[in-house]
Chains A and B, each alone.
Chain A
Amino acid sequence: MREEAVGGTRAPSDPAVADARALLEVEGLETWFPFGSRWTTRRGWVRAVDGVDFLLARGEVLGLVGESGCGKTTLGRSVLRLVEPTAGRVRLDGTDILALRDRELRPLRRRMQIVFQDPYASLSPRLQIRRILAEPLLLYRLVSRSGVDDAVAALLSAVGLEPYFMWRYPHEMSGGQRQRIAIARALACEPDLLVADEAVSALDVSVQAQVLRILLELQRSRGIAMLFISHDLSVVERTADRVAVMYLGRIVEEGPTDAVIASPLHPYTQALLSAVPEPDPQGRGERVRLRGEPPSPTEPIAGCPFASRCPEAQAICRRAPPPALEPKREGHLAACHLR
């Protein structure tokens, strides 16, 4: 039944990029972090990612939204095995990367790249841009040593920067420029999968638009599948083919972007949508207010994890765990007692 449910979301909205087999298959992924140790009185697990399944086709963009602390960043890193998941399967083109040894995994890393949120932290401050961008090119022997400068210049112009930027150091560049370098570095590996972890959230709105456009153009022209993690629904709306909404380590709603934004099913998605500020001094609808904060991810919860904040919560929500993610409409899934 689970398989069917996920199968319902298989077709990406753009048929041109559809592929018989998904590029990335994530199944029952769990990443729990231990806290405390043998010597402390309190120990246990933080369930950052607590059973997540999704599929990502070639060239498709899946938006992953949720509040901070919902586990979306951990999910992104678990998929790339930058943190060790505790259970589940992550298949890239059919290969389960969680079963691989470090040595076997390393060549595969070329195919899956990541762009981080903070452009000030993601570039080594001691290295010239030229060396930062040459590193992946030389590691995977994508160009010969003599062709490095040309290849770096080509990468720079792909992200809209002049070739002379290769001589600079990160501290000589603005946030937007650095983020473009981070994108160029990820694309240098010619990946099939890109995880963009809040890739534009730290930038000013005016710069955000430029960087986002460059990212999307490159993603489309090179047919890269992208997991676009963001807390900002208005950005995700323009970026993603499908959206998955995450709450406390689980996906609570998933579906085509238009459907999720226009007619959200889960009360949590509705609240998220109504919180987006409206850049119009006159028109502002009533907000769905969320009470309180997400419960602690260290304690198992009897009912629906969202029940404590849900404006529509019923008795059943506090008693029984929510149903698994199931299709409610065409390709639109939700995990809610009431829908």
Chain B
Amino acid sequence: MSRRALHLFGLAAILGMVLVLRREAFLEQWSNPALDARVATRFVVIAPVLCMLLGLRDVLALWRPARETTQKGGSRAEGHEGPPRPAGHGRGPYRVAMRRFAENRLAMAGLYAIAGLCLVAILAPLLAPFDPTAIDDPVATRHLPPSAEHPFGTDEYGRDWLSRALYGARVSLSVAILAVMVAVTVGTIYGAVAGYFGGFVDNALMRIVDVIMAFPTFFLMLMLVGVFEASLLALVLIMGLTSWTGTARFIRGEILSLKERDFIEAARAMGLPHRIIIFRHLIPNALAPVLVSAALMVGGMIGAEAGLSFLGIGIRPPTPSWGNMVSQGQDAIFVAWWVALFPGLLLSITILSFNLLADGLRDALDPKTLMRKYV
């Protein structure tokens, strides 16, 4: 516990210092219309809230000491002799999984890296030393190599590459996370409906999925992005709505096999309405693999956004994204290696972190490891 407390304290201290030191920059740059920053900021704020609503409160429970939950249980039972709750009891499967996850160093490294990247993205206006879009003297500051003043160097227009990378994190991460949320939500509902009702409904819905799956996802995205005006919101929707089929398929499979389990039969025998059976008994038991695949998908989505931007039809300059930054560096690879290298590195680290997170989640949520089956 103390180690976590220390981490939280450290983060808070850094945040506080940054705020005090760069208050003016914060107020000035918080909403720079040229950057689409308002939209991006709103997305970045909404994303964590949505995450929590989707059931990540269990993660927070990790930080709450066990005794506190005891008191909560006790106070709810106030007024009559509620049974005492012995320590160590009542650890739900998600809490067991999160504990297991917390012990996985690689996965925790991924988690911390992602947390760091998200923080950097949120605080980009405070951290960035220069205006990411300002072009003051293209001749004098053109293609400057990394130095103390410009740690990531500058590009052909003399823009500070570090500042652009920080703002790029905002766009790349928020687009990817939001697109995954769209995909997972649509996929889960679609798959659950198909699996639960079965028969004709299932057949019809899954044939539609087959048709969509017949097209390579990336080319579908390319086509749609080409057809529609590529605003940030449109990009998120296009990426999300072309990627939900996999989730739908395996949620359907999960629901189909859960439907046969005795506890669902027991719920039916008890006379519970369909609504409660679906939301209390079926979906919570199917969510674990969704969480894993969502984490994997974020990595894929960041790659897809980078791909689209690289091809020049995703995020368009001057709004920075890691994808269009790499693309810009491609032309100057022999003149200024740093232009392609730094955003490329950030891309790889982010994708790797999400994959580590997904692997850790998969191990932690594996139902077999929740039970000691041997002996």
Do chains A and B stick together as partners? yes
What residues make up the interface of A, taking CB atoms closer than 8 Å to B? 77, 80, 82, 105-110, 112-114, 116-118, 121-128, 135-136, 139, 146, 149-150, 153, 162-164, 166-169, 171-172, 182, 185, 189
Q: Contact at A116–B370, with CB atoms within 8 Å?
A: no
Q: Given A125-B367, A135-B270, A150-B80, do A167 and B263 touch, yes or no (CB 8 Å)?
A: no
* B window 192-241: CB within 8 A of A: none
Q: Would B269 and A113 count as touching, CB distance under 8 A?
A: yes
7 chain-A/chain-B pairs, Cβ below 8 angstroms: A77-B265, A121-B262, A126-B94, A126-B284, A128-B92, A162-B83, A164-B83
Q: A117-B262, A167-B90 are in contact. List 20 more A-B contacts (CB 8 A).
A: A77-B265, A80-B269, A109-B271, A110-B271, A113-B269, A113-B270, A121-B262, A122-B262, A122-B266, A123-B263, A124-B267, A124-B284, A124-B285, A128-B92, A149-B83, A167-B83, A168-B89, A171-B93, A171-B370, A172-B91
B92 touches A82 (CB 8 A): no
Instruction: Compute how far the CA of A125 lies from the CA of B266 in the bound complex, rounded to whole angstroms.
Output: 13
Q: Are A139 and B272 in contact (CB under 8 A)?
A: yes
A289 to B96, CA, bound (A): 50
The answer to whether B86 has its CB under 8 Å from any CB of chain A is: yes
Structural contact, B265 and A114, CB atoms closer than 8 A: yes
Q: How far is the CB of B166 from chain A (nearest CB, A)?
A: 40
B33 within 8 A of A: no
| Residue B82 at the chain A interface, CB threshold 8 Å | yes
Taking CB as reference atom, which chain B residue is nearest A169?
Answer: B92
For the complex, give the distance between the alpha carbons of A118 and B260 in Å: 13
Question: Across the interface, do A164 and B270 meet the contact criterion of CB distance under 8 Å?
Answer: no
* Residues on the A chain within 8 Å of B267, using CB: 124, 135
Q: 1/0 per residue B236-277: CB within 8 Å of A?
A: 000000000000000000000000011101111111110000
- B8 at the A/B interface (Cβ < 8 Å)? no
CA distance A23 to B270 in the complex (A): 19
- Are B265 and A172 in contact (CB-based, < 8 A)? no
Cβ contacts under 8 Å, B73 to chain A? 167
Cβ B266 vs Cβ A106 within 8 A: no
- List of B residues within 8 angstroms of A172 by Cβ: 89-91
Whole-angstrom CA separation of A150 from B92 in the bound complex: 22
Cα A23 to Cα B320 with chains together (Å)? 75
A126 contact set on B, CB distance < 8 A? 92-94, 284-285
- In the assembled complex, B16 has its CB within 8 A of some CB on chain A: no
B316 contacts the other chain (Cβ, under 8 Å)?
no
Please measure, in the bound complex, the distance between the C-alpha atom of A185 and the C-alpha atom of B272, giving whole angstroms. 13
The complex places the Cα of A339 from the Cα of B248 at a distance, in Å, of: 59
A109 & B263 in contact (Cβ 8 Å cutoff): no
* B23 at the A interface (CB under 8 A): no
- Chain A residues near B265 (CB-CB < 8 A): 77, 82, 114, 116, 122
Task: Point out the residues of chain B lying under 8 angstroms from A80, CB to CB.
Answer: 269
Tell me how far the C-beta of A182 lies from the nearest C-beta in chain B, rounded to whole angstroms.
7
Distance to closest chain B CB from A158 (angstroms): 14
A181 to chain B, nearest CB (A): 11
Alpha-carbon separation in the docked complex, A239 to B350 (Å):
63
On whether the beta carbons of B266 and A164 are closer than 8 Å, the reply is: no
A114 to B94, CA, bound (A): 28
Task: Pick the most buried of B84, B263, B281, B370: most chain A CB atoms within 10 A of its CB.
Answer: B263
Would you call B83 and A153 a contact (CB within 8 A)?
yes
Enumerate chain A residues within 8 angstroms of B82, measured Cβ to Cβ: 149
Partner of A135, one of B77, B79, B268, B272: B272
How many angstroms between the C-alpha atoms of A117 and B261 in the bound complex?
12
Of the candidates A82, A114, A121, A136, the one whose C-beta lies within 8 Å of that of B261 is: A121
Query: Complex formed: what's the CA distance from A195 to B309 in Å?
Result: 62
Interface: B60 (CB within 8 A): no
- Using known A-B contacts A169-B90, A171-B371, determine if residue A136 contacts B83 with beta carbons closer than 8 Å: no
- The CA-CA distance from A108 to B271 in the complex, in Å, is 8
> Do B272 and A122 touch (CB < 8 A)?
no
Please state if B266 and A114 are interface contacts (CB–CB under 8 Å): yes
Partner of A106, one of B91, B273, B367: B273
Residues of A within 8 A of B83 (CB): 149, 153, 162-164, 166-167
The CA-CA distance from A124 to B270 in the complex, in Å, is 14
Closest chain A residue to B288, Cβ basis:
A126
Q: Which residue of B lies closest to A146 (CB)?
A: B79
Residues of B within 8 A of A116 (CB): 262, 265-266
Are the CB atoms of B263 and A124 closer together than 8 Å? Answer: yes
Set of chain A residues within 8 Å of B371, measured between Cβ atoms: 171
| With A121-B263, A149-B80 as contacts: A168 and B90 at CB distance below 8 Å | yes
Contact among B85, B272, B281, B370 with A164 in the assembled complex (CB-CB below 8 Å): B85
- Which chain B residue has the least Cβ–Cβ distance from A106? B271
Asked whether, in the complex, the Cβ of B90 is within 8 Å of the Cβ of A122, the reply is no
